């Protein structure tokens, strides 16, 4: 199955924010609705942004239900492991499919302090494994593993039931995901785990520069880009 995640990283790559923390539910709905309109067969999953679901399972339900109703998406994603297991179960029991997310959780940047990889020591790896197990038992249908040590990603994939989706995890994960702007070369700086499949950023800059130069030189629009008057009718 192909999955498109409308991630709260859109705040950084499309709105120029420094982190995902300021992203709002309204922003996610606008982008989620647009993606759903343009998609024919993939499952669309929409992130629940920071501050919209953590306070209680009931708050999470109201946010998730609104997101699904107003976007037409098929599932939501939320960050957190053991501490969010009750919320995951609450949503799943009420008909809302949930994708989990453990390891590096960008919404917690203000407590984590950096976007560095996680699970590289035994203690933290054990905590992340427990997180994955907890949300698996709570009913998450898949789990994103972000920026964690390769052996840990492999272990979670082998020992936890839901499919794993790696983003800086391991080729052993059941699936992979990347931020589109990163993989297309639109972002000036990207994490270590990103492979650029194109360099569209420089190509776009060159195209816009050429356009501006031709406008200033009055060589655009040329004769082939303008409309001639209609020929007069005979008689």
CA neighbours closer than 13 Å in the CB half-sphere of residue 97: 13
Whether residue 122 is annotated as binding a ligand: the answer is no
Return the pLDDT at 235: 66
pLDDT value at 231 more than 90: no
Q: What is the pLDDT of residues 65-79, one digit of tens each?
A: 999 999 999 999 999
User: Which of 54, 70, 146, 224 is flagged as catalytic?
Assistant: 146
Whether residue 121 is annotated as binding a ligand: the answer is no
DSSP codes of every residue in 155-171: HHHHHSSSPEEEESS-T
Whether residue 52 is annotated as binding a ligand: the answer is no
The sign of the dihedral angle between the CA atoms of 196, 129, 20, 111 is negative
Return the pLDDT at 102: 98
Q: Which residue has the tokens 């406008």?
A: 215
Q: What is the pLDDT of residues 51-61, one digit of tens each?
A: 999 999 999 99
146 is catalytic: yes
Q: What is the pLDDT of residues 154-213, one digit of tens each?
A: 999 999 999 999 999 999 999 999 999 999 999 888 999 999 999 999 999 999 999 999
Residue 195: exposure state from Cβ atoms within 10 A (0-12, 13-18, ≥19): exposed
pLDDT value at 233 more than 80: yes
Task: Specify whether the CB–CB gap between 99 and 79 falls below 8 A.
Answer: no
* Average pLDDT of the chain to the nearest whole number: 97
Residue 182: exposure state from Cβ atoms within 10 A (0-12, 13-18, ≥19): buried
pLDDT interval class at 234 (50, 70, 90): confident
Distance (Å, whole) CA 6 – CA 4: 6
Single pTM value for the model:
0.93
Alpha helices per DSSP H over the chain: 10-13, 25-37, 57-71, 85-93, 109-112, 122-138, 150-159, 180-183, 200-216
DSSP-derived 3-state class of residue 116: coil
Determine the CATH number of domain 3-200: 3.20.20.60
Q: What is the pLDDT of residues 114-158, one digit of tens each?
A: 889 999 999 999 999 999 999 999 999 999 999 999 999 999 999
């Amino acid at each position: 199955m192909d999955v498109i995640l409308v991630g709260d990283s859109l705040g950084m790559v499309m709105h120029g924010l420094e982190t995902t923390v300021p992203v709002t539910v309204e922003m996610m709905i606008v982008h989620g609705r647009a993606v759903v309109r343009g998609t024919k067969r993939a499952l669309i999953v929409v992130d629940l942004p920071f501050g919209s679901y953590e306070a209680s399972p009931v708050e999470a339900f109201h946010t998730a239900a609104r997101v699904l109703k107003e976007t037409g998406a098929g599932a939501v994603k939320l960050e957190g492991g053991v501490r969010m297991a009750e919320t995951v179960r609450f949503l799943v029991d009420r008909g809302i499919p949930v994708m989990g997310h453990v390891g590096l959780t960008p919404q917690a940047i203000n407590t984590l302090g950096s976007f560095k990889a996680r699970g590289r020591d035994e203690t933290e790896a054990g905590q992340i494994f427990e997180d994955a197990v907890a949300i698996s038992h709570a009913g998450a249908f898949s789990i994103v593993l972000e920026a964690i040590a390769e052996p840990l990603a492999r272990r979670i994939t082998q020992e936890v039931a839901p499919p794993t989706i790696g983003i800086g995890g391991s080729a052993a994960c059941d699936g992979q995901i990347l931020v589109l702007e990163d993989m297309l070369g639109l972002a000036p700086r990207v994490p270590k785990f990103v492979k650029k499949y194109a360099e569209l950023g420089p190509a776009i800059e060159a195209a816009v520069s050429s356009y501006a130069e031709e406008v200033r030189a009055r060589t655009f629009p040329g004769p082939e880009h303008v409309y001639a008057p209609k020929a007069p009718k005979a008689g």
